[in-house]
Structure 1
């Protein structure tokens, strides 16, 4: 039996390792930064499994491949299948109609909003994507990592040594030493606590400057995100971004004005020019990268494509044919 060496313990590396183990392969993981934690981009994600919403400004593969992610994750971690609610202030209703034209899989809602989310009293129109879901990224990463260790996968908190065979590189932006057209896209987010507001599903507020999504984490805790800035500055969140995120949350429900800010997060999402993930083979190494803002949504398809290439020489649509 071959021993596959996966480099990187973020969402890409752990899903690839999980898929290989599911297919009966032996795997080890290398990551000098350690187990999943704040050092990784995927730690700061929203965890929305929302292919129909993302299709509004993404390519068709995001919609099609993303639909497979809900079942993949639900077999392994806790997934909340409560859909996504998209709303807009009265003055921004043209944006809601534009959003609807660019996607599918929704029901138009009006008075139903009060039944779906009673703590959104100010919105008379919206779109409800019933089949979407969400998960807690941190719990999902920990669950995959724990399951892999329980199945005998060795984890090495160090750089992978030279000369390994059957390597799968999932280092994200660090892989630019080989993937020169990879870029970083800055994302900023907040974690807040507001027991005075109860939301049970992700809510997206359309806004001309900074569309907001808010994802419930339970116990009155919410993730607010996320900016998309074409910048590779990994510094702290900017005052402008924090003000706009909090202002948008306040627009959802004024009670968010009393929220406690628990965390701020900034990291760089790895992306190729078309913002779609790619699988590339260079010599004895397979590179799996470029998840952009679709980490949890497209990681299962990326992992399955890697396993198909590694084990069966089958080329999924994510494989870069020029390098495989």
Structure 2
């Protein structure tokens, strides 16, 4: 055998030996509620950045609001033997059997934004009840402590939606006996359904003063209707979408909660990547959030007896996209969570 041939065989063997590293790149399967809502679109955008940073591949599948389709997607991920499964459950109880099946197959499961009791699943959470209580109090004080309000929610059985709804309703009942919640409408995070609900409410309750939303895109849809009808409503929302900044700065949205779609997307993929590579993390992980309001609104609320730590929209714009620095692979595992 010639020296050239021997060298070529050595090079070929080296290349062949390196090939499995690419083939074995961990694959994460994500079962989203949908991939049309702007929040979920941004989650995926930042999640794809996290995948590159962490050296994993991601497969995003939309359940299109269907529980049956979401379960089928998870079943498919189990059959594919992905490294980890992420799911934003449409119904936190209905998905338990299939999540247990994934755990039995040795696949780490992350329930995003949901506390799901499925055994060994990991839950990426936010302080939703407490945050939405502050949202309700800010909205209640801003409308003068009396009158009619309504609430746009996601879907019944979804942990995030249910917890935020409870925080809002409990706080209104406890602190504002003269405020009546005239409607609570499940929308499935669909802006069209939020638009229809807002139109119905504004027709049925001409004295409606405000609308709370468990997700910003729902408030944005409601405001489009109110503006078209010449109604001046106040809003309290959740997510920290940049589209809300104009409403915050002009005082129509009295408060928002920044989880940040980009931060949430990056964070969840980062958690899944670490678990898929064998890192140890707590089963319950909490993402730090921020209250967002204008300086002028914060002063008004302070004068009315409500104070809370907040950032303005200029600061929120920076923090919402600071995910790589906050949660990147160079940071220790403790960066993935904070105290509740």
TM-score, length basis structure 2: 0.25
Q: Tell me which of the two structures has the higher relative contact order, counting C-alpha pairs closer than 8 angstroms and 6 or more residues apart.
A: 1
Structure with higher Rg: it is 2
Taking structure 1 as the reference length, the TM-score comes to 0.26
Higher helix share: 2
